[in-house]
Amino acid sequence: MRLATFTSSGFTRIGVIVDDMVVDLSRAAPELPTDMVALLDAGEAAMDLVRRAAKRWEGAIPLATVRLEAPVLRPRKFLGIGANYRPKSGPTGMAGISDEEMQKIMVFLEDMQAKGNQMWFNKQVTCVNGPFDAMEIPNVSEELIYEVELAFVIGKRCRHVTRQNAPKVIAGYLICNDVTVVDWSRRSPTATLGKSFDTHGPIGPWIVTTDEIGNPHSLGMRSYVNGIERQNGNTADMIFDCFDMVAYLSQVFTLEPGDILTTGTPSPVKEFLKEGDVVRCEIEHIGHIENIVAKEATP
Domain ranges of the chain: 2-68, 78-295
pLDDT of 85:
92
Q: How far is residue 147 CA from its own chain's centroid?
A: 10
CATH superfamily of 2-68: Fumarylacetoacetase, N-terminal domain (2.30.30.230)
State pLDDT tens for residues 180-192. Answer: 999 999 887 788 9
pLDDT of 248:
98
pLDDT of 98:
65
pLDDT of 86:
84
Contact of 83 with 114, CB cutoff 8 Å: no
The DSSP secondary-structure symbol of 233 reads: E
- Percent pLDDT > 90 in the chain is 83
CA 196 to CA 126: how far, in whole Å? 8
- pLDDT of residue 161 exceeding 60, the answer is yes
Question: Can you say whether the dihedral through the CA atoms of 130, 133, 139, 140 is positive or negative?
Answer: positive
Which of the two residues, 289 and 111, has the higher pLDDT score? 289
What is the residue-averaged pLDDT of the chain? 93
CATH superfamily of 78-295: Fumarylacetoacetase-like, C-terminal domain (3.90.850.10)
State pLDDT tens for residues 199-241. Answer: 999 999 999 999 999 999 999 999 999 999 999 999 999 999 9
Pairing of strands 21-24, 60-62: antiparallel
State pLDDT tens for residues 230-286. Answer: 999 999 999 999 999 999 999 999 999 999 999 999 998 989 999 999 999 999 999
CA 299 to CA 293: how far, in whole Å? 18
pLDDT (mean) for 147-175: 98
pLDDT of 145:
97
CA 127 to CA 79: how far, in whole Å? 12
pLDDT of 96:
60
pLDDT of 152:
98
State pLDDT tens for residues 88-125. Answer: 755 456 666 666 666 666 666 676 677 788 999 999 99
pLDDT of 182:
94
pLDDT of 105:
63
Domains 2-68 and 78-295 share a fold: no
Which of the two residues, 297 and 40, has the higher pLDDT score? 40
